[in-house]
Structure 1
């Protein structure tokens, strides 16, 4: 069973190598990408079932036992997020292939898109499964290196500027991450997360606080929490539609997962973390108010992405089993819903030829199916009952109310941010779908990528988007079992002992 933990990392790497060797065959690259991601999704299901029934599953790489060797660990929260993330990457890949972003519409496929896409997926899997802080740094570098290629594949002043911003901020955060790893190792003599959970307790409180704050800043930049969010609304809207959907769905949530894992293992607390509560409030409100002010649909969604990172921060800041479990459930829902909304935005832009909301209108009559595909994730993100967003927010509100007066007040901000989210998405609905229909712009060049200005949208793009909507609905339908799983995950994360015993064995110091 332990070999299963390595396959979600190894299969995408092997697939990337095959797509490089077979770069002359577009069909081969597409089939390999879809088959590999489908296989990883199946493995994630198995890992989730096993982790929930038997506890964390550990693979010791190279035969070296932890904490000396590198360990891959699949527990409830990592397996759940791996499953949801893989389903998103599979749907986005199908969408990207059909949109021709993978090969720019040429007869020969691009030699970079599929290998980089699969390497990014390998980095995501490694980030979820690693039990080692330095290997987590390596996973982020694998993800970011692949993302640099994906976000800068097309030229143009706006895209070059956005790519430069993204690359510069990412490199700066990576430098800080490496510095934080060095500080942790210098203070404790280990970078194994399970081993750290025992050793940090022996450090002076001031030093523990410095290490926790350093890791918070590192992952806060990558997760785009306020005031470290400035790069995201300028970067994601300028990326190709499927790439923006992939980044919105995965990268910030992987960063939040790293924050969740490190803060609960390395810097546990017995009461709510005031600093993180303040950051959660600022992130929720700044993101939501920024979204209300936007006319560009992709920038609006980018600000909503920032806002809802604050919801997850709130669950972590509560530092209770209910809060941490609610944050994990919210992350799983958020991965799906944001990726879906960015894919829908790509479909809308493809029909209208513009990203400006004030130049759209009447699509309810011309594209009623697209209206449905937008309405469901929009209601989910706003938290309208009985969607997955409502279930996750209700779990966070319950955790906040149980934690005390201060966190109950922050829970009120959760409601306010949800109302602002609803207002922003209603503006999109009114601008895009109501009013008189506007004629679709012609497809000037059928061989081009054709991301905008064409009424001809192939069915697989709709099918991929509808598939993610179905995943979101499934999260709502199985909210009871999923809430139970994330609740148990929250208990384990705060207890820390099940994780330490699984990695280090019984009697670990």
Structure 2
């Protein structure tokens, strides 16, 4: 007797996304895929290091193009989601991109391209053999993935990716000072990463999902029964350590001055911004009620971060250490916007983050050029740069004005918006902190310019320190001029970026479009 069989129709639409992915959806993952693929290719040709710079620069140029197309697509159509493995949300891993993520990804790609070009002059053959360019591409995979992911555990994974690559970049050269800086950097960041992982595990135990859009939908229903305030406090502490906010910021000035100039520049431009971005994404979009309850605490941390960072900058004699404290002070402005909430606070916070990514990278580049021209990173050994390199002095002055928040440069607009937003909600103490920090930052920059650039060259003294970078040609000047042009352009013509950041702030404050991108038909609850 023949065995009989029965067949059952399976409705795959209950588990899978049945529609083919659109070109816009492929754009959400293409930047990360490009970075990882390029890093793998560079490892395959690791014995032919003369090819590394060309391969990496071409790849980074393509990365900027892809992220530009992604920003245009998101600005035109709204947030876009790509589900890995075709699984329906919230079960599959989501890449979800809104204006905030697209803006940060593009600005990061631009400074990475500038860093790749600058590295042609700054990274010697030994550092190339140790893997500078593969590490750079993996770093950008982590940074870009953090900005584009829609899954909170994968946000943690991308943090780990960028941290692992940053460890490698930090110790290129294996000098004693680098090892010491890397030890402090790694220990404090590992503590922050552990807190982040604990918070993610706690979150999963509460919600049973890791999809950000799904968490945002469920948070309102569980607010009365789940310990969301405790969870929010854990996330704030973890991301504050990542972002180098007061009082957990002491690891940054102890490490950022130790690696090569291009590495310091990329770290200053990118890594702390990922921490602040994650804080904005989770606290504003997922837990807005808890953010509001903790707004005073965040505002106090912001004020102390701004002022202590600026005071620390004034006290430094090494330009790189001074810039490390400027990075810390800048984080305070973004936290101030997060404490205010709403479009009035989020828009300038996003604007300042984009401005700081470009500005801090450019400032470290000009610090490297100043050391190459003057023969030292120490202010006692630097003098007379105004006469020896007028172009460098002019560019440095423009960047200093932007960093101090003086018109007509890009730093003026977000600070003015933050002051207005703080006054509008009656937080006069926060507005005063922003103004005081700006004044102290102006003093710090003015001190550097007067001593290193304006002071007569014969007044410099010999300083025993590590060998400064050698004077470089177009590979160093091209990214410096390009990034400075962006700072000046968005200062003189801020309206397009203002409009984009206002839309981005609105998208964070009201994530309806973000949720609809992930769950277009409502999805599973």
TM-score by length of 2: 0.91
- Report whether the alignment pairs 1:267 with 2:283: no
* TM superposition shift of 1:439: 11
Give me the whole-angstrom Cα distance separating, in 1, the residues matched to 2:279 and 2:467: 35
1:237 corresponds to which residue?
257
Give me the whole-angstrom Cα distance separating, in 2, the residues matched to 1:278 and 1:267: 19
Give me the whole-angstrom Cα distance separating, in 2, the residues matched to 1:452 and 1:373: 20
- Report whether the alignment pairs 1:112 with 2:131: yes
Q: Deviations for 1:131-163, whole angstroms, at most 9, x for unmatched residues?
A: 000000100000000000000122232221111
Give me the whole-angstrom Cα distance separating, in 1, the residues matched to 2:132 and 2:460: 29
- Report whether the alignment pairs 1:434 with 2:481: no
Give me the whole-angstrom Cα distance separating, in 2, the residues matched to 1:210 and 1:488: 30
**Which one of 458, 468, 493 corresponds to residue 452 of structure 1?**
468
2:11 corresponds to which residue?
none
1:299 corresponds to which residue?
321
- Report whether the alignment pairs 1:472 with 2:495: no
* TM superposition shift of 1:68: 0.5
Give me the whole-angstrom Cα distance separating, in 2, the residues matched to 1:371 and 1:185: 53
1:409 corresponds to which residue?
429
Alignment of 1:37-56 (within 5 A): 37-56=60-79
Alignment of 1:74-85 (within 5 A): 74-85=97-108
Unaligned runs of 5+ in 1: 443-449
Structure with the greater alpha carbon radius of gyration: 2
TM-score by length of 1: 0.94
Distance 1:427 1:55, change over 3 A: same
SS at match of 1:257: helix
For structure 1, which segment, 248-257 or 165-174, has the greater mean C-alpha deviation from structure 2 after superposition?
A: 165-174
2:87 corresponds to which residue?
64
Give me the whole-angstrom Cα distance separating, in 2, the residues matched to 1:356 and 1:98: 21
For structure 1, which segment, 217-226 or 366-375, has the greater mean C-alpha deviation from structure 2 after superposition?
A: 366-375
What is the number of equivalent residue pairs in this alignment? 495
- Is the contact made by 2:97 and 2:148 (CA closer than 8 Å) also made in structure 1? yes
* TM superposition shift of 1:357: 0.7
Give me the whole-angstrom Cα distance separating, in 1, the residues matched to 2:191 and 2:414: 33
**Which one of 112, 116, 138 corresponds to residue 89 of structure 1?**
112
Give me the whole-angstrom Cα distance separating, in 2, the residues matched to 1:344 and 1:253: 21
Distance 1:213 1:453, change over 3 A: closer
* TM superposition shift of 1:192: 0.7
Q: Deviations for 1:93-115, whole angstroms, at most 9, x for unmatched residues?
A: 111121234x248xxx4151111
Greater than 4 Å deviation, 4+ residue runs: 438-442
**Which one of 174, 177, 190 corresponds to residue 209 of structure 2?**
190
Give me the whole-angstrom Cα distance separating, in 2, the residues matched to 1:488 and 1:459: 37
SS at match of 1:95: helix
1:287 corresponds to which residue?
309
Give me the whole-angstrom Cα distance separating, in 2, the residues matched to 1:475 and 1:191: 37
* TM superposition shift of 1:204: 4.0
* TM superposition shift of 1:390: 0.4
Distance 1:453 1:311, change over 3 A: closer
* TM superposition shift of 1:208: 1.1
Give me the whole-angstrom Cα distance separating, in 2, the residues matched to 1:254 and 1:401: 28
**Which one of 13, 26, 31 corresponds to residue 3 of structure 1?**
26
Give me the CA root mean square deviation.
Answer: 1.9
